[in-house]
Amino acid sequence: MRQYRALVVASSLNRLREPVGLFFSLFFAPLLVVILGAIFGNDPNPQYGGLGYVDATLPAFTSVVLAIVGVMLLPINQVEYRETGALRRLTLTPMRPVAFLAADLTVAFVIGFAGMLVALAVGVVGFGVELPDSIGLVLLAAALGLAAFLALGTTLAGLYPSTGAATGVGNVLLIILMMSSGAFVPLDVLSEGVRRVFDLSPTRQFVLLVDGLWAGDPWSDQLVPTVVMVGMGVVFGILGAMLFRRAMRVRP
């Protein structure tokens, strides 16, 4: 436990020294809420079932945070650890690899979840969005989705050969995940075939989960997106841990 706490502090300080990554984790989604809210306003609109733009889309903005943290920032950070030899040096200490991985994921989770909360707070304070009675379930779903995408990010980090590959492929994945989430592109204007493809996107399933809970639907009605999030967490969590252990045995 002492090792874990020390690693959490070290990982936190490391992220504080990376202002770009911290910005995208904490402030990019809230900034999008401000910009798009200023453009579209929050007056009642028939297109959104009588709700304002921000009222209708605010929960979905949390998908921006988990996509950025999961497919960009976490993989790049872990690949950098590998390339600089930090992971290899850990094998020469009594420190257990699982403690390092757990600490890194903990810091990424806390920062990512804080970014989600800030995005929601901007909508509430800046645009008068009313929090639903089910806000506790919404936050629980947000935590579940973030954990699933962190597991995905750990797997991607084990597959990327370099930070250049992590950045290039990560940018492509990020664009695809954000476009297919349905949070920013009205899916009604797309063909049925495209909508079916988008339904396969994990960000789309996450948005369906948080939107449904935000609207007051019972969690039992969100079986498919819940299974997708849990399945991602389990499958990629196991695979990511295996790849991480392998990375610590490979010389940079």
Q: Is the pLDDT of residue 91 over 70?
A: no
Query: What does the pLDDT read at residue 133?
Result: 92
C-alpha to C-alpha distance for 125 and 148, rounded to whole angstroms = 29
Supply the pTM of this predicted model.
0.90
The dihedral sign for the CA sequence 70, 31, 215, 185? negative
Q: Is the pLDDT of residue 97 over 90?
A: no
Six-digit token pair at 18? 């990376």
Our separate counts of H helices and E strands in the chain read 13, 0
Six-digit token pair at 170? 């990560």
Q: What is the pLDDT of residues 41-56, one digit of tens each?
A: 888 888 777 888 899 8
Residues written for the chain = 252
Q: Where are the domains of the chain?
A: 2-249
Q: What angle do CA 13, 152, 234 make, to 5 degrees?
A: 115
